Amino acid sequence: MALFQSPAPLLLLFLVLFITTLSLHSNLSFSALLLSLRHHHQHLRSERPMIHANQSNCALFVGNWVHDDSYPLYQSSSCPMIDPQFNCQLYGRPDSDYLKYRWRPLNCDLPRFNGAEFLMQMRGKTVMFVGDSLGHNQWESLICMLYTSVPQSQSQTQMVKGEPLSTFRFLDYGVTISFYKSPFLVEVDVVQGKRILRVEQVDGNGDPWRNADVISFNTGHWWTHEGSLQGWDYIELGGKYYPNMDRLAALERGVRTWANWVDTNIDKTRTKVFFLGISPTHTNPNEWNNGVTGVTKKSCYGETEPISATSATAYPGAEYPEQMKVIDMVIREMKNPPYLLDITLLSAFRKDGHPSIYSGDLSPQQRSNPLYSDCSHWCLPGLPDTWNELFYTALIY
């Protein structure tokens, strides 16, 4: 904090000179770090997590999407907790086939989600999601899956929304489903109007996370934001301040800080820890049109079917996300690694699952223009329900 104390004119002059000098050095040091990262990345795509399900060795995250008229697991009209940002049916999405797909792993079937069983198994416990808006997407999905599977006449509930912590409680079961907003998992401080991303310090020292019985982390998207969407003014690393640095290098340093905190502070005999893989975006139609140029459609707007899979193990479209390679690498090197809910590949096929223009976050004028399509988040009901079916399987079975 001392760096930003008055007098302001001297501070600004010092800060400009300081940052200019550091930037010259940081470009060299972080270029070297990036080369090191890319060397690591060549070796990252090995076997994915395996668990026992339905009495067989089941690769949960490799398979295909099948049409299933028994889906979705709930209707948006029956879950009043859905944020307008994710409530595609309420905001005019005209098609519904995107709701009728079930994920089928190659060599097994997922157990059907049973909300009453989940609540019984989690009785008296806290399940917490920590991360960005994709974690929030998954949190609301799980609330809806549970809320609509238990007759409301038999279960009292309570919602408390806050910043950064929101909670939903199933009072008769003593179950709390929480979301803690932490887009980077590391600290962002505001000092004299400047946002400082401290990649060597865990958000809030992790104190709000320690007592969860089940905790699922995610991060990724905010590390790539630029311009007005960028979440920091300076990055603090090693006691020095940088206006920017290589994004993959910054992500790796931040995730390593989080990983060290988990290894040091989480007792895995008491707490089950998960990490949600990178949720892909669908902003480039050329990726699912065989590279054809001149495609007139605007990103994911108007997409009503998944990408046709030529292989159950081949990533569709663009290259497998570099961010996921970084996260995979760090998790593999942990002393007590979390269970990686590796939803990246299976989600990449679902170009049809995004809100696009059917979002309550848009004005009527914006909703009439495909340029405003949200191709990052997911409709509810929708794909995050599958993430939670996989979460349920890994947690209960």
Point out the residues that are catalytic. Answer: 133, 374, 377
CB count, 10 Å around CB of 154? 8
The DSSP H or E segment spanning 242 is: strand 240-242
Distance CA 50, CA 393 (A): 12
165 is written with which tokens?
Answer: 């912590």
Kindly state the tokens that stand for 377: 């988040």
Contacts 24+ apart (CB under 8 A), 38-47: 40/325, 40/329, 41/322, 41/325, 41/326, 41/329, 44/325, 44/328, 44/329, 44/332, 45/320, 45/325, 45/328
Edge-first strand order for the sheet with 126-131 is: 157-160, 165-170, 175-181, 126-131, 214-217, 272-276, 339-341
- The Cα–Cα gap between 266 and 358 comes to 40
Alpha-carbon span 15 to 247, nearest angstrom: 22
* Cα angle value 169/122/78 (rounded, 5°): 50
Query: What is the per-residue DSSP string for 141-164?
Result: HHHHHHHTTS-GGG--EEEE--SS
Peptide bond preceding 370 in cis form (omega within 30 of 0):
no
Question: What is the distance between the alpha carbons of residues 294 and 118, in angstroms, rounded to a whole number?
Answer: 48
Please state the φ and ψ torsions of residue 361, each to the nearest 5 degrees.
-80, -10
Name residue 197's amino acid.
L
Helix, strand or coil for residue 114? coil
